[in-house]
Amino acid sequence: MIDNLSEALEKLKLASTDSATDSVESCLDCLLKALANNNTEASMKIQEIGLLPLLPTLLNPQSSCTPKVANIIAELAKNEFMRSPCVEAGLIPPLIQLLNSTDQEVLLQTGRALGNICYDSHEGRSAVDLAGGAQIVAEHIKSLSQNTEPENEKLLTVFCGMLMNYSNDNDSLQAQLINMGVIPTLVKLLGIHSHNIALTEMCLIAFGNLAELESSKEQFASTNIAEELVRLFQKQSEHEKKEMIFEVLAPLAENDVIKLQLVEAGLVECLLEVVAQTVDGEREEDVTQLKTASDLMVLLLLGDESMQKLFEGGKGSVFQRVLSWIPSHNHQLQLAGALAIANFARNDGNCIHMVDTGIVQKLLELLDRHVEEGNVTVQHAALSALRNLAIPVVNKSKMLSAGVADVVLKFLQSEMPPVQFKLLGTLRMLIDTQAEAADQLGTNGKLVERLVEWCEAKDHAGVMGESNRLLSALIRHSKSKEVVKTVIQGGGVKHLVTMATSEHMIMQNEALVALGLIAALELVAAEKDFVGASLVSVLHKLLSDERSAPEIKYNSMILICAVMGSEPLHKEVQSLAFLDVVSKLRAHENKTVSHQASLTEQRLTAQS
């Protein structure tokens, strides 16, 4: 075969300068045969003998040999090592010229050749880009899109594949295709040619690539992609095919407009069916499909409109089905169910309805099943749901009566920062305005001890911030001497002083109010900690800093007045020239601040 090949190559070299078509044709047949027999070896031989630079002259639109020459290039370019040489041999411009042909076979082989040269090849893509090849192919696809003849569908498949190879993993080339309006054309193709498996798959791969780009979402949203994908999904029975559609749905469903379109097109019913079919499945593909379908369901609930549509005032069948996932024995479904509840719990009306219909009990039972050796993601999701449900004021006492705080405290020993973070947030939401609960939790020595420990979690800023905020909240909402004592004994005072220097105003303020209550209720017991944490100089800085908000200045002055009853702290106040700072604040534009400045000045003067 190789001898024949060498002979054919030599003949072809001679023939390319001559125009004896018959001899050229037989040489090309020999080459195709050799490539079919052993592509790599034949390609190396073709490159060695230096045939590539002769091929452009053979790519003559008028010649009957042209489709075979383009076919040979397509076969050669299947080898990675041949793609750059094809570009260097100047094959791209004549190939692009051939895209203007009306001959179906020429177009097919040219599309294959260009697609293979572009595959994973920067040089190939740049050359096609430079010659404007993508635009011509995109126009072909548009004009051929209505034709459902098998030969035409084959050509469409090749052209779509060529555009994919051209733009794959290349944001700027994908953006170029989007600007050419490729998306609406491909969506139309999917609708017209859904019976053609190869073309359908090519469209799905294209959507998967383009959907990753943010700029594509708007174009997708203006088409009927949601209906087409749902219709296609309903027809599929094979796992692989469903997975392909899922891979397109996931990035598209990140867009809120498309979320709603997918819900309206009936995707949710498809997802619920997948869940029902796979929940007891043992096969790996069942596990995969269950996860993908339930994750996608949760994603659809992230859009406000799509979520509200599915909630249907708490009577929606979808909402009811999702509720039934929580008591399931399948961890993936428990997780999706809890995350779905957290997503439904994004406005007061939904939260109030859910608490009134007994969802809290379901979540508590789920958490109880995950205390020992629990699944961290399920713990995190269930705590997220409880935290959201606890936001409306009317829900707090109901949730406390249901025993939420007691169940949440079972996770106090968790070493997982995401669980710690949600646990803290849930407790903070629950005790907001609930004096009795704040009193009960604030006198729980174990809880306070753990909070103080987490206030030092330097590696986990979220946990550290939430611990400080909960510590402050226990004091602010209980206003209780016992709670203040527990916090002082647990070593929490210094953390509240540090919290007063936070970059977040809301945290600064929470800290100052809590410190004010400590000074008012237990000044003597806290005195040592106040001195040790340099409270007075922190207050001096806050009052001197022009950037401090009015409420920060106001609460700092209240605190100054409160600590004057302690001799060592009084001495520190005197040594720091507070009078100068405070007297300046008498002219502050905020009336509450200026009034407090006058009172504080009187207090400082009287006690100096």
How far is it, in rounded angstroms, from Cα 91 to Cα 95?
Answer: 6
Question: With contact defined as beta carbons under 8 Å apart, do 391 and 354 qualify?
Answer: no
Contact between 183 and 224 under an 8 Å Cβ cutoff? The reply is no
Enumerate residue ranges in the chain where pLDDT < 70. Answer: 1-4, 10, 13-22, 608
CA nearest neighbour of 335 among 281, 389, 276, 381: 381
Taking the C-alpha atoms of residue 138 and residue 120, their distance in angstroms, rounded to an integer, is 20
The residue whose two tokens read 């001890």 is: 449
Please list, residue by residue across 269-293, b when 16 or more beta carbons sit within 10 angstroms of its beta carbon and e when fewer do.
ebbbebbeebbeeeeeebebbbebb
User: What is the pLDDT, as a whole number, of residue 1?
Assistant: 46
Structure confidence at residue 60 (pLDDT): 86
Sorted by sequence, the CB contacts under 8 Å of residue 147 that are 6+ apart come out as: 153
Give the Å distances, CA to CA, from 518 to 264, 479, 557.
56, 9, 15
The structure's pTM equals 0.83
Angle (nearest 5°) at CA 372 between 366 and 374? 60
> What is the C-alpha separation between 537 and 245, in angstroms, rounded?
62
At position 294, the amino acid (one-letter code) is S
- CA–CA separation, 548 vs 554, rounded Å? 10
With contact defined as beta carbons under 8 Å apart, do 32 and 68 qualify? Answer: yes
Question: What integer pLDDT is reported at residue 2 of this predicted model?
Answer: 47
Residue 127 and residue 125: Cα distance in Å, rounded?
A: 5
Residues across the chain? 608
The CA-atom distances, in angstroms, between 269 and each of 130, 264, 339 are 47, 10, 18
What per-residue confidence (pLDDT) applies to 14?
62
Check if the beta carbon of residue 472 is closer than 8 Å to that of residue 499: yes
Residue spans of alpha helices (H) in 490-549: 493-499, 505-532, 535-544
Q: Nearest Cα to 474, choosing from 458, 457, 490?
A: 490
Q: What is the pLDDT of residue 417?
A: 94
